[in-house]
Amino acid sequence: MIDKKFEIAKRSFKSRLIVGTGKYKSFKQCAKAIKASGADIVTVAVRRVNISDKNKARLMDYLDPKKITYLPNTAGCFTAEDAIRTLRLAREIGGWRLVKLEVLGDKKNLFPEMIETLRSTELLTKEGFKVMVYCSDDPLMAKRLENAGAVAIMPLAAPIGSGLGIQNKVNIKIIRSQTKLPLIIDAGIGQASDASIAMEMGCDGILVNTAIAKAKDPIQMAEAMKLAVISGRKSFLSGRIKANLFGSASTSNKGII
């Protein structure tokens, strides 16, 4: 099969790997890891970014927003009002309309608060934002988000930063079967094999932050994630063999001596 372009809100991207910019030891390390990952989209927590103090290091000094797509997100928001205010600020600062919405339910588990998430999606869409939505792996809520105007569905694989990998493959497969929107796994990826598995399931992309930033060697892990996403996508497009409980000889029995 010939692969289709990775498109979000009618914009094409070369890499299917999206990388977060938090938790690194320094902006320099962050920039090196992102370069190794090959990602052309990076998420930026608007509430935590330095935009006023020119004496302190700024992300933009290391990652040129003219060369890589910044995806403002609402990390740290627990209500629709906070999330909407944050993204309006992002729009005023840099004109961003393609955004990542994240409304959390509690500070311990960091699961998405889906009622507030759905409400935020509806309101932001009406204001002209192109909303990529962090959400639960509930197929019903995923469909509601699509109907509300989301441009990408981003279910968690496991709790943010947990590194547990995909915990509910069934729900992810159901979401995949019922949506035409880009399906991007967001949160819970721990190692390269997790990313590859998600891509083999037909997901369109992966968002990774902690698994890269907190690895013993973030730059090497970033490259591993890049290769895993490419490999998993190629595996999906190739079409796996049918699983069988019994063995099947590699060579034919015809003409056997």
Domain chopping of the chain, boundaries: 13-238
**Residue 88's pLDDT is what?**
93
Query: What whole-number distance in Å separates Cα of residue 50 and Cα of residue 39?
Result: 22
CATH topology of domain 13-238: TIM Barrel (3.20.20)
**Residue 219's pLDDT is what?**
97
Query: What whole-number distance in Å separates Cα of residue 142 and Cα of residue 117?
Result: 11
Mean pLDDT, 10 residues at a time, over the chain (257 residues)?
87 95 91 95 78 71 88 91 92 89 90 94 95 95 95 94 91 94 95 95 95 96 96 93 79 66
Query: What whole-number distance in Å separates Cα of residue 153 and Cα of residue 143?
Result: 9
**Residue 58's pLDDT is what?**
79
Q: Look at residues 134, 132, 171 and name the one whose alpha carbon lies nearest to residue 149.
A: 132
**Residue 52's pLDDT is what?**
59
Sheet bearing 69-73, strands edge to edge? 152-155, 130-135, 98-101, 69-73, 41-45, 17-20, 205-208, 184-186
> Does the predicted model carry a pTM greater than 0.85?
yes
* Given 66, 100, 143, 216, the catalytic residue: 100
**Residue 179's pLDDT is what?**
93
Pairing of strands 11-13, 6-8: antiparallel
**Residue 53's pLDDT is what?**
63
CA angle 147, 19, 57 (to 5 degrees): 120
Query: What whole-number distance in Å separates Cα of residue 125 and Cα of residue 110?
Result: 24
Render the burial of 42-80: b for 16+ CB within 10 Å, e for the rest: bbbbbbebeeeeeeeeebbebbeeeebbbbbbbbbbbeb
Query: What whole-number distance in Å separates Cα of residue 187 and Cα of residue 210?
Result: 9
**Residue 50's pLDDT is what?**
57
**Residue 3's pLDDT is what?**
80
Mark whether 100 is an active-site residue.
yes
